[in-house]
Amino acid sequence: MPRLLVLLALGASACSATTPPVAGTTTASASDPARSSAPAAASAGASAGPGAESSTSGNPAPGTAGGAAAVARTRPPATGTYTYTQDGGITFGALEVPFDPTGTLVVSPPKNGVQKQVREYSDDFTLTERLRFGGDRVTLLATATRFGGREYACSMEEPMTLVALPLETGDSWRSSSRCGRMKVTIRVSVEGTEVVTIGGSAVDTVVLHVLIDVVEDDAEQHSDVTSWIAPEHSLAVRLDDYTTGKSGGVSFSIERVDELRSLTPA
């Protein structure tokens, strides 16, 4: 069970508790190799070296002319407690564990560009993660899962790129890292934009398709996720997740739909 929980935590970090960024207005010369096109350079602490490969592709930032490109910058969401409706659960062998009807995301004030976020799915299942905001992306530094009164921590050997600006339709990126003997790989593509209703208000969102693969010895997990993120608020407002895998020879699966109740934190 501990290995399964670490797998689940890594999958959740890469797709559900991630807070997407908001574009800024800084400009840079096209001669600057870090910003001559759509996102190509990692922020401080988000190196793309061995074991943490990260690549992006996409169209030049809109509104550019004469070789100048708009440089987007990430920012964390407002601090406070957000409530999500939850539908679905986890099946592990013959064991079925439904999610509570509602869960919370507790966002702490950032310190030196790093923010702690705690996603509570039930009284017995919470995920804590540390995310770095800065430059043109958001990176995952570490996760910790609490289940049954026990906690299982996982620090990434190299930060993983979870979100990369400018989030133009057709953009995509891939990032991988290790946590002990586990290798985690995520592939993200920007599918388009959509207006959704959250708490009675129309919200502009960017739709991301996320594929997550986690492997270690005889354990593996594969997730197929669609996430609707609201860049103006740096929040995921809806998420559809279908995950399958094996741990210790036992198959497990996750099906869930999360939706934010309100863009205003408590």
d(CA 138, CA 141): 10
Residue from 111, 99, 109, 171 nearest 137 by CA: 171
130 touches 113 (CB < 8 A): no
User: Structure tokens of 251?
Assistant: 């198959």
Measure the CA angle with vertex 118, ends 209 and 112; round to 5°.
90
**Residue 139: beta bridge partners?**
132, 161
Q: Which residues face 31 on adjacent strands?
A: none
- CB 54, CB 46: distance < 8 Å: yes
User: Using an 8 Å Cβ cutoff, are 174 and 186 in contact?
Assistant: yes
The residue extents of the domains of the chain are 2-23+73-260
**DSSP secondary structure code for residue 167 in this structure:** -
Residues of 48-59 as b/e, b for ≥16 C-beta within 10 angstroms?
A: beeebebebebe
Query: What contacts 247, CB < 8 A, 6 or more positions away?
Result: 1, 3, 4, 7, 92, 218, 219
> Is 0.85 surpassed by the pTM of this model?
no
> From first to last of its 266 residues, what are the pLDDT tens digits of the chain?
445 555 555 545 444 434 444 433 333 322 322 222 222 222 222 222 222 333 444 433 333 233 333 456 888 999 999 999 999 988 988 988 888 999 999 999 999 999 999 999 888 888 999 999 988 999 999 988 887 678 888 899 999 999 899 999 999 999 999 988 889 899 999 999 999 999 999 999 999 999 999 898 888 999 999 999 999 998 999 999 999 999 888 899 989 999 999 999 99
Token pair, residue 257, equals 């739909």
